[in-house]
Each structure stands twice: as structure tokens, then as C-alpha cells.
Amino acid sequence: MIHLQHIERMFMVGEEEVHALRDVSMRAEAGEYIAIMGPSGSGKSSLLNILGLLDRPDSGSYELDGTLVSGLDEKQQAAIRMHKIGFVFQFFHLVPRLSAFENVALPLILSGVKPDERQTRVTAALASFGLGNRARHRPDQLSGGQRQRVAIARATIMQPSVILADEPTGNLDRSSGIEVAEILEELNRQGMTLIMVTHDPEMGKRSRRQILMVDGRIQ
Amino acid sequence: MRSLNGHLRLKSDFTLFKKMQLRDILTFSLRAATANRGRVLLMLLAMAIGVGSVVVFISLGDSARRYVINQFSSLGTDLLIVLPGRSETTGGPPPLLGETPRDLTLDDAMALYRARTVGRIAPIIAGSAPISVQGLEREMLVLGSTAELFEIRHLALSQGSFLPPGDPSRAESVCVIGLKGKKELFGSQPAIGKWLRIGDRRFRVIGILSSPGVSLGEDLGEIVIIPVAAAQSLFNTSSLFRILVEAKNTAVIEATRQSILETIRLRHEGEDDITVITQDAVLTTFNRIFKALTLSVTGIAAISLVVAGIMIMNVMLVAVSNRRAEIGLLKAVGASRGQILGLFLAESTILSSIGAVIGLILALAGIRLAGILFPQFPLQLAPWSPAIAIAVALISGIAFGVLPAHRAANLEPALALARR
Ligand SMILES: Nc1ncnc2c1ncn2[C@@H]1O[C@H](COP(=O)(O)OP(=O)(O)O)[C@@H](O)[C@H]1O
Ligand SMILES: [Mg+2]
């Protein structure tokens, strides 16, 4: 369960104040599938970053699964990102020198999971995303769709309760875009809350609920 | 299987947030560190040169110190050397113009036996003289002394016996020769019992020294030792070159020094006209000089370590700005500030350690090469120098890694991940 109240986020660009988020409030129930839509620069990414604890709001409160996470310190927020949130990016953000396997294993490594447990969990995850024979490949040896699947495997290896995806298909061709959307939707069906930013109406229609943003506000 | 409420992994007190395993930190950082080659190689080289030169300089200084100390110690630390003439460094008025110091005589030397703390005494007359055997002639150092020289100078024989003990004023015509001198004069022929000529006198060879090499600048290979009385008449002098006195033990060296001065003063009509050098004083001085020398040279070499440290900082700063997205990603998947800090510190530490190890290898190779090129000078690795060099490398790796690591740790994930 996600509950945002009166979130404000403002950036200074030179002398100018840019209000990326203005008094944003929203709820998302556990297991929901929400598309955030709106024109470029309307604050979709800013909202998702706040939800993913990648950015802090200037004001407002954020409650996640009964915890007031906006009041937590840096270390506690890192733990929330580790265990409760899976983030999927438009540009994948795989570590280029690491193999698919190692990229997926990163959260496990950071949380101190032992190598043999890592081996079984990562192998299973890669297999379930159809990447069983790509484990040793580095990102530059993978197609866009495969990269995004590796990124999704990494985002979900800790079994988070929420998946946040910022234009996950924005950098993919149509068919691999649909493939990625179907994977995310399958994860949603298994119980993870899915919040996906997209400016593609086709993609948006797939969700059960759409949130439209214009100029930093939810319409 | 992925039901949410059943899978609440996050405890309210966050005790589930485990630490990374050390092995994972090391592998991750090592791979990150070695990912971008050129700059890293340059930096490793700088660190290697820094560490290598520190190790070599420390070892050079230390080896020189050992060399000198060894030379002196081979005489024994309970040794006192009595020289005629007053050393100006002992204080007191310098000798008046025209006043020559009284000679040290054999009787002076024998008088020293009266001191209770004196063990052995070896009076010495030294000079150079032509030595000949059947037309073959060599100029060699001739030492006149007594049987006790053998023990005092820790000599060793390869054949025969040393000067016979007994009344030092008896001028027996026997001699002991150095190994090299024996070879030059007799070749591979046996020399014991043969006669050789020193100046216009004949001496029978009774012993051959084994080869201890060079001691205190005297080549013991090319030396002829004869009874002190024989040397007195050979060189037509009654004055001794010096007297070696061995104290009964190292604790009574100062007492021995005092009684030597006193005894000679009584015999020389109240004049303090000798100098007594103790091993201890000489060794301490040399030790101090060499330590200071080593320290200052090492200090200069350490500057190169600082340069290497700055290069590490540069490499790491570049790494942080090149890997902004990676850092943001690590944070997005749950890395805390502290973890990022640790990873980047580990990286700079690993880099400097690798550099240090390469430097050590270079230093060892250099020292070995020097050993081949200059075998006379026993250069060896100072035992604690690798530890010092590695420690300094680690410290500089960490110290100069702090700033970049902080920069990495403080990156805002949203900003680091944004494609701006
Ligand atoms: N780090 C930042 N610094 C300055 N301005 C920013 C920053 N992040 C976002 N903005 C601005 O905030 C507004 C919303 O941006 P964003 O949330 O990325 O929009 P969207 O994802 O909907 O395209 C834009 O005007 C953008 O320029
Ligand atoms: Mg955006």
C-alpha cells in the first residue's frame, strides 16, 4: 500500500524555480497496476523517483506498507529500496563490466547473501525470464529486450512488494516492448504492485488505472 | 509464492539489513578497479615506483649501516683501542706547539695487565715491507703482535699454529701469513715450515690464516704477522702503532678505559697523552649517523608515495564521475551511503596495494641485481622495509581515497541515474 500526501518537489534551474511536483497526493493499494501518463516534463519521473526513494520531496509525506518512509534516515531508506522496491529504468542501467548473472546478483551481494544461495536464486530468476543461456553475457552482448529482462530480474530478485518502472519500453522496439510489459504484468499478477510511467497510450491502456500528470499535478 | 503480506521481509528495526561479505567487497572493487586500464596502469606504476624506491633506499641505508657495524663488531664489542697521542675530541687543551706525544711502548702495554678488568692485550706494530721467497717478492702489511691477537681479532687458521705465547720481548723468527699472501708467495706448494724473507731477516712460516676477507680496511689475506719484538727490530722502533685491549666483559668497558688512562698517566709522568677508543662509542655514533641518513633518504623517497597517492585520488575521482550511473544504480537496489563509501575505499586501497606489491617485487629485483653488479657491498632487504612501504601505501590509498569515496557516497541517486 502506497500513500502520498501533499508532495512538493522543486528544482532550481539557474535563477528559475521549476516545480516538478505540486501538491501531489495519491494512493495505490497492494497489487494494483497503475500507469502514470502525461506529456514530457510533466513530473512523471520525479514522482516515480520519490516513490522509489531515489529522491526526497521538499515537503509532504510518503507511507509505504504502513511505514512512514519519508521520515526514515538514509540507511533505513536504503533498506527499504533493497527489500521493498524494485526499480526498472528506461535505459536499463546495467553495470557494463558485469555479466547478466552478476548484474542480477548485485542486490543479493549488497545484502550479504552467501554465494551458493545467490547461485540458486539468480539462476532461477534468469531462467524464469528466459535468460537461462545468457547468464555469462555482458550487457553489450545482449539485445535491448534481453537487457531490460535482466534489469527486471535484478529489480525483483529481492521479491519487493512494489515495482516502479520508468518508461521501461521507451527504449525498445514494439515487440520486445510488449514482451517486457507482459513480464511486468505477470509479476503484478503474482502480487507485486506495479506502477509504470509511459507516454505511450497503447501501453497505458493495458493498466487497470491511469494517472495523468500535467505540469507537476495529478489531473 | 510472492504474496506480499506473507513476505514482509523488513523488520521494523531493520536488523535484516545485513553487511556485505568481505570477499564480495574485494571482488567487486577489484574488478571495478581494473576495469579501466590506461590510467590505472599509470597509477600503479607511480605507486610501484614510490614503494620500490622507499624499500630500496631503506635497504641501502640499512645495509651500509650493517656493513660498517659488522666491520667493527667483528673486532668484538668489548674491545678498546689505545692510540698514542691525545685526541682533541676528548677535550682539554690541544698539545702545545712542537710537543710530540710520548711513544707507547711494549712496557706500557704490559703494564696494562695490572688492571683487574683487562682480559687480553695485543700490542701492535704495523708497517709495510717487501716479503720474498726464492726471488719472488711482494710488498705486504707486516703486523708485529703477540699470541693474544688471535683471540682479540677473532682470527682463524687454515693450517699450522699462531704466534706462540710467552715473553713478548722475545723476537722469535716465526711468522703467520694470510691466505692470499701464501698463494702469491708459495703457490700451491705447502708453506708451513718454509722460510721467507722480510726485509733482510728470515722468518719461518708456522701458520696460515683462513680467509676472513677484509676487516676494518685491513686486507687480512695479504698480511704477515710476526712477534712484536721481531717487528720492533725489523722496523727499528720501540713505539707501538696501537694497543688492542679486551675488557673482561662489556660491563666493565668504562672502568677499563679509566684504568688504562690512569696506568699510562702514571707511566708518562702525569701526562694524558693517549687516546682510548671504545667500540661502543664508535658503534653508537655510526648507528646514529646511518639512521639519520636512512631516514632522510627515505623521506625523499616517500614524497614519491605522496605523488602516487595524489594519482590514486585522481584516478578515483575520474572513476566516480564516469560511474555516476552505476553508483546511482547501486543505491537504487539498496546500497547505503556507507556501503558505497566502503566499496570505493576498498577500490583505492586495492589499487595502492597492487602498486605496493609490484613495487616490492621491483625493489627485490633491484636489490638482487645490485648484489650481482656489486658483490663487495652486501646489499640486503631491510627486514621491516616491506612492512613500512606496504603500510604507507595502504595509508595513502585510504587517505587519498576518502575524498572520491565521499563524493560517490553523497551522489543523489535520482540525479546520478538521470540522463542529463
Ligand atoms: N534534477 C533536476 N534538476 C533540474 N530540473 C529538473 C530535475 N529533474 C527534473 N527537473 C525538471 O522537472 C520537470 C519534471 O521533470 P520529469 O519528472 O523528468 O518529467 P517527465 O518524466 O514527466 O518527463 C521538468 O521540467 C524537468 O526539467
Ligand atoms: Mg521521465
How long, in residues, is chain A? 219
Residue pLDDT, tens place only, B302-315: 788 888 888 889 88
Q: CA geometry: angle at A158 spanning A113 and B27, to 5°? A: 40
User: Is the Cβ pair B414, A49 closer than 8 Å?
Assistant: yes
Q: What is the 3-class SS of B271-298, one letter each residue?
A: CCCEEEEEHHHHHHHHHHHHHHHHHHHH
Stretch (H or E) spanning B157: strand B157-160
Q: Report the sign of the C-alpha dihedral through residues B13, B16, B22, B24, in that order.
A: negative
Identify the CA nearest to B32 among candidates B319, B400, B357, B404.
B319
Stretch (H or E) spanning B337: helix B337-373
d(CA A203, CA A34) in angstroms, rounded, equals 11
Asked if the model's pLDDT at residue B227 lies above 70, the reply is: yes
Q: Tell me, yes or no, if the pTM score tops 0.95.
A: no
In short, whether A20's Cβ falls inside 6 Å of ligand 1 is: yes
User: Is the Cβ pair B326, A95 closer than 8 Å?
Assistant: yes
d(CA B312, CA B318) in angstroms, rounded, equals 10
What is each CA distance from B96 to A65, B88, B89, B273, in whole angstroms? 103, 12, 15, 12
The total of other beta-carbon atoms located within 10 Å of residue A202's CB is 12
How many angstroms separate the alpha carbon of residue B333 from the centre of ligand 1? 22
Whether A148 contacts A92, CB under 8 Å:
yes
Of the candidate ranges A51-55, B156-160, B223-227, B297-301, the one whose mean pLDDT is the lowest = B297-301
User: Is the Cβ pair B17, A75 closer than 8 Å?
Assistant: yes
The verdict on A149 touching B (C-beta cutoff 8 Å) is: no
> Residues with beta carbon < 5 A to ion ligand 2?
A 45
Mode of pairing for the β-strands spanning A67-68 and A85-88: unpaired
Whether B48 contacts B397, CB under 8 Å:
no
Mode of pairing for the β-strands spanning B242-247 and A162-166: unpaired
Chain A's closest residue to B334, CA to CA, is A82
Q: In what order do the strands lie in the sheet with A33-37?
A: A85-88, A162-166, A193-197, A33-37, A209-214, A217-218
Whether B330 contacts B340, CB under 8 Å:
yes
Stretch (H or E) spanning B411: none
In short, whether A148's Cβ falls inside 6 Å of ligand 1 is: no
The whole-number average pLDDT for the span A198-215 is 92
Chain B residues with at least one Cβ partner in A under 8 Å? 1-5, 7-10, 12, 14, 16-21, 24, 28, 31-32, 35, 325-326, 328-339, 412-415, 417-419
Q: What is the pLDDT of residue B281?
A: 74
Asked if the model's pLDDT at residue B274 lies above 80, the reply is: yes
Predicted confidence band of residue A211 (pLDDT cuts 50, 70, 90): very high
Identify the CA nearest to B413 among candidates B318, B326, B322, B331.
B331
Whether B115 contacts B263, CB under 8 Å:
yes
The whole-number average pLDDT for the span A98-110 is 96
Of the candidate ranges B65-79, B125-139, B190-204, B306-320, the one whose mean pLDDT is the lowest = B65-79
Q: What is the pLDDT of residue B44?
A: 86
d(CA B410, CA A219) in angstroms, rounded, equals 34
- Ligand 1 atom with least separation from CA of A19: 12
List the single residue in B326, B334, B415 with the smallest CB-CB distance to A107: B334
Burial letters A2-17, b for 16+ CB under 10 A, else e:
bbbeebebeeeeeeee
Q: What is the pLDDT of residue B334?
A: 94
How many angstroms separate the alpha carbon of residue A38 from the centre of ligand 2? 10
Binding-face residues of A in 2-21 toward B, CB within 8 A: none
Q: What is the pLDDT of residue B289?
A: 83
DSSP letter for B163, please.
P
Q: What is the pLDDT of residue B115?
A: 83
Residue pLDDT, tens place only, A114-173: 999 999 999 999 999 999 999 999 999 999 999 999 999 999 999 999 999 999 999 999
The whole-number average pLDDT for the span B346-359 is 89
Q: What is the 3-class SS of B78-126, one letter each residue?
A: CEEEEEECCCHHHCCCCCCCCCCCCCCCHHHHHHHHHCCCEEEEEEEEE
Whether B50 contacts B305, CB under 8 Å:
yes
Q: What is the pLDDT of residue A187?
A: 96
List the single residue in B10, B335, B412 with the smallest CB-CB distance to A110: B335
| Cα B131–chain centre separation | 37
Q: What is the pLDDT of residue B393?
A: 80
Predicted confidence band of residue B12 (pLDDT cuts 50, 70, 90): very low
Whether A174 contacts A8, CB under 8 Å:
no
Residue pLDDT, tens place only, B286-343: 778 888 888 888 788 778 888 888 888 988 999 899 999 999 999 999 999 999 999 9
In short, whether A41's Cβ falls inside 6 Å of ligand 1 is: yes
Q: What is the pLDDT of residue B101?
A: 65
Identify the CA nearest to B174 among candidates B148, B204, B144, B130.
B204
d(CA B222, CA A22) in angstroms, rounded, equals 100
Q: What is the pLDDT of residue B213?
A: 54
User: Is the Cβ pair B16, A75 closer than 8 Å?
Assistant: no
User: Is the Cβ pair A154, B339 closer than 8 Å?
Assistant: no
Please report the ipTM that was assigned to this predicted complex: 0.96
CA distance A111 to chain B (A): 5
HSE-up of B168 (CA within 13 Å, CB side)?
24
Nearest ligand to the C-alpha atom of residue A17: 1
HSE-up of B265 (CA within 13 Å, CB side)?
12
DSSP codes joined into one string, chain A: -EEEEEEEEEEEETTEEEEEEEEEEEEE-TT-EEEEE-STTSSHHHHHHHHTTSS--SEEEEEETTEEGGGS-HHHHHHHHHHHEEEE-TT----TTS-HHHHHHHHHHHTT--HHHHHHHHHHHHHHTT-GGGTT--GGGS-HHHHHHHHHHHHHTT--SEEEEESTTTTS-HHHHHHHHHHHHHHHHTT-EEEEE---HHHHHHSSEEEEEETTEE-
Asked if the model's pLDDT at residue A43 lies above 50, the reply is: yes
Q: How confident is the prediction for chain B on average, in pLDDT?
A: 83
Taking CA atoms only, the protein residue closest to ligand 1 atom 21 is A45
**Grid coordinates belonging to A80:** 527499504
d(CA B290, CA B292) in angstroms, rounded, equals 5
Whether A170 contacts A120, CB under 8 Å:
no
How long, in residues, is chain B? 420
In short, whether A51's Cβ falls inside 6 Å of ligand 1 is: no
Q: CA geometry: angle at A41 spanning A36 and A45, to 5°? A: 45
| Cα B154–chain centre separation | 21
Residue A99 sits at φ, ψ, to 5 deg, of -75, 170
The whole-number average pLDDT for the span B142-170 is 89
Identify the CA nearest to A166 among candidates A45, A82, A53, A54.
A45
Q: What is the pLDDT of residue B92?
A: 47
d(CA B304, CA B195) in angstroms, rounded, equals 63
In short, whether A45's Cβ falls inside 6 Å of ligand 1 is: yes
Of residues B104 and B90, more confidence is placed in B104
Asked if the model's pLDDT at residue B14 lies above 50, the reply is: no
Map out the domains of chain A with their CATH numbers: 31-56+73-211 (3.40.50.300)
Pocket perturbation via mutation, ligand 1, pick of A13, A18, A219 by most ligand atoms within 8 A of CB: A18
d(CA B46, CA B77) in angstroms, rounded, equals 44
The verdict on A110 touching B (C-beta cutoff 8 Å) is: yes
Q: How confident is the prediction for chain A on average, in pLDDT?
A: 95
In short, whether A11's Cβ falls inside 6 Å of ligand 1 is: yes
What is each CA distance from A174 to A28, A39, B205, in whole angstroms? 28, 20, 107
DSSP codes joined into one string, B2-48: --TGGG----TT-TT-PPPPHHHHHHHHHHHHTTSHHHHHHHHHHHH
